[in-house]
């Protein structure tokens, strides 16, 4: 058990500036200084909630500062939250969750960061190219429109300015939860024929982006 004493107004720097690397590999026990009357489970939940609210602040949050170590730190704390079985008040786009799982992006992921381009590409792929005005910057035909869509996808989601942040986030997450731990097949005892002994069987049942979304952020609320 690793005990960390936290001042609420300085919650990010309490962890970000720690030199004790062992803290990353031990269950966390949080103590808020100058805060009273909170149970242990409530403290952990309050800690991660406050931490991620600070991280995603629009003006001075860590994502705005664009430092590589910031994204690695966020990945570390995301994994710590998962291990602590606490959800955070942030919902991540699926292409970010795919990166954590080592999955490649797909066209649908473009809808999260550029809905207009996503819809344009969907229309191009779904219709004959002759139906569109010739306003493209390159020559697009029915034969090469799939390659064009892939090129736009790579440009938007896999540009150096994006990938270095995503990979820093991923590396921090995997420092706490190794990649193989969330991508391995499950081994279960499967029943066999009557009269035979149950045997262990490897089942292709890997964690999906939807599963990871629930682990990190909880089940999405349904507006009524």
Domain boundary assignment for the chain: 2-103+158-188+204-217, 107-157
Does domain 2-103+158-188+204-217 correspond to CATH entry 3.90.1750.10? yes
Percent of the chain with pLDDT over 90: 24
| Integer CA distances (angstroms), 160 to 163, 164, 179, in order | 5, 6, 22
Average pLDDT over residues 181-188: 62
The pLDDT, as a whole number, for residue 11 is: 56
Q: Which residues lie closer than 8 Å to 91 by C-beta, 6 or more apart?
A: 213, 217, 220
pTM of the model: 0.73
- Residue 87: pLDDT band (50, 70, 90) is very high
| 126 — pLDDT class (breaks 50, 70, 90) | very high
Q: Which of 115, 143, 117 is CA-nearest to residue 129? A: 143
Sequence-ordered list of residues with C-beta below 8 angstroms from that of 120, at least 6 positions apart, any chain: none
> Phi, psi (5° rounding) for residue 142?
-65, -25
Q: Give the pLDDT score at 20.
A: 44
Residue 148 has pLDDT above 80, yes or no: yes
Among 14-28, 88-102, 156-170, which stretch is predicted with the lowest mean pLDDT? 14-28
How many alpha carbons lie under 13 Å from residue 5 in its C-beta half-sphere? 4
Residue (of 96, 77, 104, 84) closest to 13 by Cα position = 77
């Amino acid at each position: 058990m690793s005990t960390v004493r936290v001042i609420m107004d300085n919650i990010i720097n309490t962890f970000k500036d720690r030199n004790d690397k062992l803290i990353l590999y031990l269950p966390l026990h949080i103590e808020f200084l100058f805060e009273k009357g909170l149970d242990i489970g409530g403290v952990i939940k309050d800690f991660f909630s406050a931490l991620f609210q600070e991280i995603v602040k629009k003006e001075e949050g860590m994502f705005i500062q664009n430092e590589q170590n910031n994204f690695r730190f966020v990945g570390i704390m995301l994994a710590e939250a998962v291990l602590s079985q606490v959800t955070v008040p942030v919902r991540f786009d699926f292409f970010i969750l795919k990166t954590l799982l080592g999955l490649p992006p797909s066209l649908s992921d473009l809808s999260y960061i550029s809905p207009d381009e996503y819809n344009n590409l969907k229309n191009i792929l779904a219709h004959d190219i002759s139906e569109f005005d010739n306003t493209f910057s390159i020559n697009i035909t029915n034969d090469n429109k799939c390659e064009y869509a892939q090129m736009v996808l790579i440009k938007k989601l896999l540009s150096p300015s994006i990938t270095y942040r995503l990979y820093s986030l991923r590396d921090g997450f995997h420092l706490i939860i190794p990649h193989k731990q969330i991508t391995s097949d499950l081994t279960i005892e499967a029943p066999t024929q009557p009269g035979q002994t149950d045997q262990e069987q490897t089942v292709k049942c890997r964690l999906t982006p939807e599963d990871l979304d629930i682990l990190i952020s909880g089940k999405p609320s349904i507006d009524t």
